Amino acid sequence: MDKVWLVIKREYLSRVQKKSFLLATLLTPLIFPAIMGIFIWIALDDVDRLYLSIIEVVDENNLFFIESSEQYAFSFSNTSFEEAKRMVRDGERFGAIHIPSLDLSNPSGITFYSSTTPSIGLRTFIENSLKRRIEEQKLFEAGIDPDVLDAYRTKVTLQTVTLDISGEEKISDASVNYIIGFISGILIYIFIFIYGNQIMQGVIEEKSSRIIEILVSSIRPFQLMLGKIIGIGAVGLTQFLIWIVLIGSLSAFVMGYLGLQMPQQQLMELGSPELSGQMYPDNNVYQTFMVLQSINFFQLIMTFIFYFLGGYLLYGALFAAIGAAIDAPSEAQQFMLPITIPLLIAYMGLFIFVLDDPNSNASFWLSIIPLTSPIAMMGRASYGIPFSELLLSIGLLITGFICTTWLAGKIYRIGILIHGTKVNYKTIWKWVKSD
Among 14, 53, 293, 294, binds another protein (CB under 8 A): 14
Among 10, 89, 123, 131, binds another protein (CB under 8 A): 10
Stretch that binds another protein, among 173-181, 212-220, 300-308, 355-363 (CB under 8 A): 212-220
Axis-axis angle for helices 297-325, 221-257 (nearest 10): 140
Helices and strands, number each (H, E), in the chain = 17, 6
Residues pairing with 97 in the sheet: 57, 112
- CB nearer to another protein: give 205 or 282: 205
Among 139, 186, 194, 215, binds another protein (CB under 8 A): 215
Smallest gap from Cβ 226 to another protein, in A, equals 14
Contacts of 290 (CB under 8 A, 6+ apart): 170, 171, 267, 271, 280
- CB nearer to another protein: give 97 or 423: 423
Q: ∠135-137-141 over CA atoms, to 5°? A: 115
Cα distance between residue 146 and residue 163, in whole Å: 42
Q: Judge whether 352 and 229 are in contact, CB under 8 Å.
A: no
Among 35, 183, 214, 302, binds another protein (CB under 8 A): 214
Cα distance between residue 378 and residue 303, in whole Å: 8
Smallest gap from Cβ 190 to another protein, in A, equals 25
- CB nearer to another protein: give 336 or 418: 418
Contact call for residue 22 and another protein (CB under 8 A): no
Contact call for residue 424 and another protein (CB under 8 A): no
Contact call for residue 20 and another protein (CB under 8 A): no
For 205, list phi and psi in degrees, rounded to 5. -60, -50
Contact call for residue 3 and another protein (CB under 8 A): yes
Of 332, 302, 318, the residue nearest 401 (C-alpha):
318
Stretch that binds another protein, among 2-10, 45-53, 250-258, 263-271 (CB under 8 A): 2-10
Of 134, 119, 117, 115, the residue nearest 59 (C-alpha):
134
Smallest gap from Cβ 377 to another protein, in A, equals 37
Of 157, 319, 219, 153, the residue nearest 10 (C-alpha):
219
Contact call for residue 131 and another protein (CB under 8 A): no
- Kind and range of the H or E element at 150? helix 146-152
Q: Judge whether 77 and 55 are in contact, CB under 8 Å.
A: no
Contact call for residue 132 and another protein (CB under 8 A): no
- CB nearer to another protein: give 6 or 368: 6
Stretch that binds another protein, among 40-48, 159-167, 210-218, 370-378 (CB under 8 A): 210-218
- The alpha-carbon radius of gyration of the chain (Å, integer) is 30
Contact call for residue 429 and another protein (CB under 8 A): no
Of 207, 185, 145, the residue nearest 332 (C-alpha):
207
- CB nearer to another protein: give 208 or 288: 208
Cα distance between residue 105 and residue 107, in whole Å: 6
Contact call for residue 417 and another protein (CB under 8 A): yes
Among 16, 134, 139, 219, binds another protein (CB under 8 A): 219
Contact set with another protein (CB under 8 A):
2-3, 6-7, 10, 14, 205-206, 209-220, 417, 430
